Chains A and B, each alone.
Chain A
Amino acid sequence: QKEVEQNSGPLSVPEGAIASLNCTYSDRGSQSFFWYRQYSGKSPELIMSIYSNGDKEDGRFTAQLNKASQYVSLLIRDSQPSDSATYLCAVIQGSARQLTFGSGTQLTVLP
């Protein structure tokens, strides 16, 4: 059973819109949460990490965490065509601090 769930998409938004990516996880003890961006044919690249409930903003990106609902999201404001990629949610689970990845959401920003 997959422990980190994401909508696989594809998700399409027009340029300039807000893209909203969602992720749920099953391990209530999880403490660290990450969003990676992966362009086609490239390796995953960390764009955000979040550890506490609430919002964390970095430029056009905002990560939101709700541990009670076991839910983490990523908002991309003023979406650009260069944001078109697959976004992977990753969660640290267990004492070994291993990352468990979701299957990713493919985002396309239409010019």
Chain B
Amino acid sequence: DAGVIQSPRHEVTEMGQEVTLRCKPISGHNSLFWYRQTMMRGLELLIYFNNNVPIDDSGMPEDRFSAKMPNASFSTLKIQPSEPRDSAVYFCAARTGVSDTQYFGPGTRLTVL
């Protein structure tokens, strides 16, 4: 099992550009979480899906952020337009339906210039 896969691993973009982050969860893990980590705010939950359905997006900072999970093996987090304050590491994590343990992907380090 390859674990949670995220792409790209690093993204550098300019303010105003659209950014799309991708996540492939572990097969059979039916809950998927998007987190953002910064030095100032630590690890924050942005949104999570259960069986591909968004359950709680209260952590999404602004309308510039959107997330989708079109099927059980793929999710995207989009920022449009991006701003320098969006610079952070974005993690995707997966969980099965019978355990509370979350398994994290390697993260995407986003830098918005």
Q: Which residues of A contact B (CB under 8 A)?
A: 32, 34, 42-46, 49, 88, 92, 96-104
Minimum C-beta distance from B84 to chain A (A): 21
Q: Is the interface of A mostly helix, strand, loop or mixed?
A: strand
Q: A32 contacts which chain B residues (CB < 8 A)?
A: 100
Residue from A34, A43, A96, A99 in contact with B107 in the complex, judged by beta carbons closer than 8 Å: A43
Residue from A96, A99, A102, A104 in contact with B102 in the complex, judged by beta carbons closer than 8 Å: A99
Q: How far is the CA of A103 from the CA of B41 in the complex (A)?
A: 8
The reply to whether A46 and B42 form a contact with Cβ atoms under 8 Å apart is: no
Query: Looking at B42, B55, B105, which has the most chain A CB atoms within 10 Å of its CB?
Result: B42
Minimum C-beta distance from A4 to chain B (A): 10
**CB-contacts of B76-105 with A (<8 A):** 91, 100-105
The reply to whether B101 and A46 form a contact with Cβ atoms under 8 Å apart is: yes
Is B12 among interface residues, defined by CB-CB distance under 8 A?
no
Closest 5 CB pairs of A and B: A43-B104, A101-B43, A103-B42, A32-B100, A44-B104
Q: A44 contacts which chain B residues (CB < 8 A)?
A: 43, 91, 104
The reply to whether A43 and B106 form a contact with Cβ atoms under 8 Å apart is: yes
Q: B48 contacts which chain A residues (CB < 8 A)?
A: 96, 98
Q: B103 contacts which chain A residues (CB < 8 A)?
A: 46
